[in-house]
Chains A and B, each alone.
Chain A
Amino acid sequence: MNNRSIDKILNNIREAFYEIDVEINQDFLLKLLECEMLISDPLEKKIDLKQLIELEVKRHD
């Protein structure tokens, strides 16, 4: 999946964000999504997702 394809899907999904009312930072949600799409190695992906989540939890604290 090339960057242009990812951008296209991301844009489509991003549009779906605005329709829902979540009390979570949308940039953070998009970062998770980007991480999911850009990293192909499952283990590496999970580690990165975890890091993002933990950073966000810390930030809230």
Chain B
Amino acid sequence: MIRIQNITFYNYLPYYKEKVFDLSGKEGTTLIFGDNNMGKTSFINGIKFLFYNTLYKNPDNPDFNIYYNINRKAFAEKDYMFFVSLDFTYEGKEYHFIRRYRTKSDTIGSPKSDNDFEHDEIIKEGDKYFTERERKELINRIIPKNISEFVFFDGENVKKYIEILNDDSDSGAENRKVKEAINNVIGTPYLDSLINNLILIKKEYTDEFDHKLQQHSKDEKKKAEIEKLLIELKEKNSAKDTTKYLLAKTNDELNDVDKKLSNLTRSLSVYEEIGKNQANLDIENQNLENAEKKLKELLSTVAKNLLYDKLSDEKKRNTLIIEKLGTKINDEQKITQEIQQLKGLYKKQECPLCGSNISQDQEQKITQKIETLQKRKNEFSLSNEERNKYNLAKQKIERIDNLLKRGNVSPLQRNNIIQALLDIKMSNSKINEYKQKISRLKDELKDEKTIYDLITKRDMLTQKIKEYEETLQKLEQEINALSNKINNLRKRIKDVVGLDILEKKITFIERIINAFINIRENFIEEMRSKVEREANEIFLDFVNGLNNDIARVEINKNYRMSIFTRNGDKIPVPGTGYNTLLALSLIYGLNRNTHLFGAIFFDAALSNLSNNYTRNVIRTLSSYAPQLIFLAHKDRVDINDVIRVLGGQIVNQFEIYQNGDAFNTNIRRL
């Protein structure tokens, strides 16, 4: 419980320099009264400033809010420090609490913004200074900001409660704020927070469970995969063994073939020789082909030259024929002439020499000679065949002469052709030689046919060995990869345990959450009922002797209050004054049923209440609060009446006033 000893303002708003309210002494009600604008609201706000560092906002310069909180007169006099301090006891311990703003040492001239100020928050218990964390904890313990509405009963707060009384909905920011404050003071947030924490813990368990379940499922998948891989590995190993066996067997076969082949060295050399000769034969065939090609090319270019030679020869041959046959023809012609001469003589019968007539004897001799010549002529006479031959030769010579006129063959061309012909001849000769050799060598190998089979087999075996070796290498790689994969999978298996325990925890925490949800609902209803009871009681005290028709008040789940008459009728729209009473009743009900119990600052506007009601209110509140600081407007509340009503309950009386200076509020203890 907080018990305030004294409150000091220094240059805070209208409080110029240091102004102290000494509240030490007996417990009870402190009455502070004054006119408008004398500093009553600033008093309450000063306490809020002290606890929560709430500053008035500067609408003209948001960077210089302090200017709206510091006393203007002091500011003008260059006294830039302001503070509010409190001496109080709490739980039997004495504390000094001060909140102060002052200019920084390096500020030159008058401050221009909040940045030119430094801020101190000091709480001392005896000589012990509290750390920031300790200060925060202590403030939160004494008057947490979120329930300050129940300690500072100023006009604003009461107005908020009146609003809630007229609004049964959950909407409206102010409504929600007040309801939140009610829940705070009741303690519902503890249950809310606990439920939230339990939900968070449940989520942790659920996440862990899901994670483990997922892991478990992954493990199962991994195990199944390992099984599959092991089968594959077994198959690969089996294939490896088979391949190894086949490789060894093929190597043995190759060794056998090699052995057999080594016994056939001669055959091998013959085979090689055949190969060489065959290669030479191929080369020579190519040479022949080239030579023939070359000859063809030469012949095509020197055909005419070649023809010349042949034609010359042909001309010679035909010339000889003509010469030979021509001689015969000449001889025949000579004999014919001679016969003609003799025949002429015979006709004249005179001697050509003497002109005398020839004798019979002479005539006989001439006839004989003609016959002899005729015989000779027949000898020289050409046969038809010879005549045709002669004529043909003559024609040929004539045609050859015509052809020979057209050109001649150069010696170089002739030599080239001759060389080409020689090459062809040589190639043909060599080809024959190689063919004969190959034939001879093959004859040698007639009995060695197995060598072909062996060589073919050897090639086949070598190829097989190569394939087996490649297969083995591939299998080795696959086996290694599979083994690594299996090992990795085995390493990644977590072997999840504790799923059943987690399931139990989740089920259990769900039951706890449900229990607390029910408890919360029950608790809220219980508290509403309790608050209603206390509010009803005080409300009846407020109206006691003033309105005997009021029977009770009710508070619904939204903390809306209704007034019922003795006949059970509900007053549909309570007047403003009754609403103020209802709001005060609600606050009272909440205070009575919660942990709040201590000093109360009461700055409620009571102008809408008659003197009688005001009297009842002040009396009731004074009797309730151990320390009530009641701030009253001098013109709206009859101070003398209040003093009379409260009598001995008033332990301090202060009047706040100003002597024509709006920035210098003075305090007078009465």
A residues within 8 Å of B by Cβ? 1-2, 4-6, 8-9, 12-13, 15-17, 19-20, 22-24, 29, 32-33, 36-37, 40, 45-46, 49-50, 53-54, 56-57, 60-61
A-B contact count (CB 8 A): 98
Which A residues are in CB contact (< 8 Å) with B198? Answer: 32, 49
Is B191 in contact with A13, judged by CB distance below 8 angstroms? yes
B residues within 8 Å of A by Cβ? 1, 91, 137, 140-141, 144, 186-187, 190-191, 193-194, 197-198, 200-201, 204, 501, 504-505, 508-509, 511-512, 514-516, 518-520, 522-523, 526-527, 530, 593-595
Is B501 in contact with A57, judged by CB distance below 8 angstroms? yes
Q: How far is the CB of B328 from chain A (nearest CB, A)?
A: 153
Query: Residue among B193, B511, B594, B595 with the most chain A CB within 10 A?
Result: B595
Which A residues are in CB contact (< 8 Å) with B530? Answer: 12
What CA separation (Å) do A15 and B530 show in the bound complex? 12
CB nearest to A3 among chain B residues: B91
Is B197 in contact with A49, judged by CB distance below 8 angstroms? yes
Q: How far is the CB of B519 from chain A (nearest CB, A)?
A: 5
Is B508 in contact with A13, judged by CB distance below 8 angstroms? no
Is B505 in contact with A29, judged by CB distance below 8 angstroms? no
Which B residues are in CB contact (< 8 Å) with A53? Answer: 201, 505, 508-509, 512
Which A residues are in CB contact (< 8 Å) with B91? Answer: 2, 4
Is B515 in contact with A13, judged by CB distance below 8 angstroms? no
Q: How far is the CB of B577 from chain A (nearest CB, A)?
A: 32
Is A20 in contact with B594, judged by CB distance below 8 angstroms? no
Q: Can you name 18 extra interface pairs (CB under 8 A) apart from A13-B191, A24-B511, A24-B512?
A: A1-B595, A2-B141, A9-B595, A13-B187, A20-B515, A20-B519, A20-B522, A22-B511, A24-B515, A29-B519, A32-B512, A33-B194, A36-B194, A36-B197, A49-B198, A53-B201, A54-B505, A60-B504
What CA separation (Å) do A1 and B147 show in the bound complex? 12
Q: How far is the CB of A9 from chain B (nearest CB, A)?
A: 3
Which B residues are in CB contact (< 8 Å) with A36? Answer: 190, 193-194, 197
CB nearest to B595 among chain A residues: A5
Is A29 in contact with B516, judged by CB distance below 8 angstroms? yes
Is A12 in contact with B512, judged by CB distance below 8 angstroms? no
Q: List, sorted by A's number, 25 A–B pairs whose CB atoms are closer than 8 Å.
A: A1-B140, A1-B141, A4-B91, A6-B595, A8-B187, A8-B594, A8-B595, A9-B187, A9-B190, A9-B595, A12-B187, A12-B523, A16-B522, A19-B526, A20-B518, A33-B190, A33-B194, A36-B190, A37-B190, A45-B197, A46-B201, A49-B197, A49-B198, A53-B512, A57-B508
What CA separation (Å) do A6 and B198 show in the bound complex? 20
CB nearest to B511 among chain A residues: A24
Which B residues are in CB contact (< 8 Å) with A1? Answer: 140-141, 144, 595
Which A residues are in CB contact (< 8 Å) with B594? Answer: 8-9, 12
The secondary-structure label for the interface of chain B is helix
Q: How far is the CB of B459 from chain A (nearest CB, A)?
A: 78
Is B509 in contact with A16, judged by CB distance below 8 angstroms? no
Is A57 in contact with B504, judged by CB distance below 8 angstroms? yes
What CA separation (Å) do A32 and B193 show in the bound complex? 11
Which A residues are in CB contact (< 8 Å) with B193? Answer: 36
* Contact residue among B144, B200, B523, B593 (Cβ-Cβ distance under 8 Å from A13): B523
Is A49 in contact with B201, judged by CB distance below 8 angstroms? yes
Q: How far is the CB of A50 from chain B (nearest CB, A)?
A: 6
Q: How far is the CB of A34 from chain B (nearest CB, A)?
A: 10
CB nearest to A21 among chain B residues: B518
Which B residues are in CB contact (< 8 Å) with A19? Answer: 522, 526
What CA separation (Å) do A19 and B526 show in the bound complex? 10
Which A residues are in CB contact (< 8 Å) with B527? Answer: 12
Q: How far is the CB of B460 from chain A (nearest CB, A)?
A: 75
3 closest Cβ contacts across the A-B interface? A5-B595, A9-B187, A16-B523
**Given A13-B191, A57-B501, are A29 and B512 neighbors across the interface (CB < 8 Å)?**
yes
Q: How far is the CB of B333 from chain A (nearest CB, A)?
A: 159
Is A12 in contact with B593, judged by CB distance below 8 angstroms? yes
Which A residues are in CB contact (< 8 Å) with B518? Answer: 20, 22
CB nearest to A4 among chain B residues: B595
CB nearest to A20 among chain B residues: B518
Q: How far is the CB of B524 from chain A (nearest CB, A)?
A: 8
What CA separation (Å) do A15 and B523 show in the bound complex? 8
Q: How far is the CB of A5 from chain B (nearest CB, A)?
A: 3
Which B residues are in CB contact (< 8 Å) with A16? Answer: 519-520, 522-523, 526
Is A15 in contact with B526, judged by CB distance below 8 angstroms? yes
CB nearest to A16 among chain B residues: B523
Query: Residue among A1, A6, A54, A60 with the most chain B CB within 10 A?
Result: A1
CB nearest to B191 among chain A residues: A13
Which B residues are in CB contact (< 8 Å) with A60? Answer: 504, 508
Q: How far is the CB of B185 from chain A (nearest CB, A)?
A: 10
Q: How far is the CB of B623 from chain A (nearest CB, A)?
A: 21
What CA separation (Å) do A49 and B200 show in the bound complex? 11
CB nearest to B192 among chain A residues: A36
Which B residues are in CB contact (< 8 Å) with A17? Answer: 519
What CA separation (Å) do A24 and B517 show in the bound complex? 13
What CA separation (Å) do A56 and B520 show in the bound complex? 22
Is B593 in contact with A23, judged by CB distance below 8 angstroms? no
Q: How far is the CB of B38 from chain A (nearest CB, A)?
A: 35
CB nearest to A53 among chain B residues: B509
CB nearest to B527 among chain A residues: A12
Which B residues are in CB contact (< 8 Å) with A46? Answer: 197, 200-201
What CA separation (Å) do A37 and B197 show in the bound complex? 12
What CA separation (Å) do A49 and B513 show in the bound complex? 12
Is A57 in contact with B505, judged by CB distance below 8 angstroms? yes
Q: How far is the CB of B150 from chain A (nearest CB, A)?
A: 12
What CA separation (Å) do A36 and B191 show in the bound complex? 8
Which B residues are in CB contact (< 8 Å) with A29? Answer: 512, 515-516, 519
Which B residues are in CB contact (< 8 Å) with A5? Answer: 141, 595
Which B residues are in CB contact (< 8 Å) with A50? Answer: 201, 204
Which B residues are in CB contact (< 8 Å) with A32? Answer: 194, 198, 512, 516
What CA separation (Å) do A36 and B186 show in the bound complex? 15
Is A56 in contact with B508, judged by CB distance below 8 angstroms? yes
What CA separation (Å) do A23 and B512 show in the bound complex? 9
What CA separation (Å) do A37 and B189 show in the bound complex? 10
What CA separation (Å) do A38 and B238 show in the bound complex? 70
Q: How far is the CB of A2 from chain B (nearest CB, A)?
A: 5
